[in-house]
Amino acid sequence: MWISCCRLCRCLCHVVYCLHAARAADVGAGYGLLSLAAAARGHRVHAFELGPGSLEALEASLAHNGFEHLVKVRRHSTGSRLQRQRKMHTT
């Protein structure tokens, strides 16, 4: 398991290293691995996440690493307005 995590982190860091944009979007950010990797390289990130447990962990990681000024956490869906309306009517 640990070896797989290390490989994933190396892969994410490579992707972020190749990122030339001033801003990145992390849709379905979860615990924020991509957001943290991008912020560590100085990129600004918009992290989208709805899960309360993931949000709590993401915000704690950002605070622990001092990246709050680089990562804007968005607590809403990223689908189209029509998709969100359909979802509201089905629940």
| pLDDT value at residue 34 | 86
Positive/negative CA dihedral, 18, 24, 27, 29: positive
**Gap between the Cα atoms of 64 and 16, Å rounded:** 20
- Residues 56 and 31: beta-carbon distance below 8 Å: no
Give the up-direction half-sphere exposure of residue 25: CA atoms within 13 A in the CB hemisphere: 6
| pLDDT value at residue 68 | 95
Q: Which CATH number fits domain 2-90: 1.10.10.60, 3.40.50.150, 3.40.50.300, 2.70.98.10?
A: 3.40.50.150
| pLDDT value at residue 11 | 60
From first to last of its 91 residues, what are the pLDDT tens digits of the chain? 445 555 665 666 555 555 565 678 888 888 888 898 888 888 899 999 988 899 999 999 999 999 999 999 998 766 656 555 665 555 5
Structure tokens at 63: 């605070």
Structure pTM? Answer: 0.66
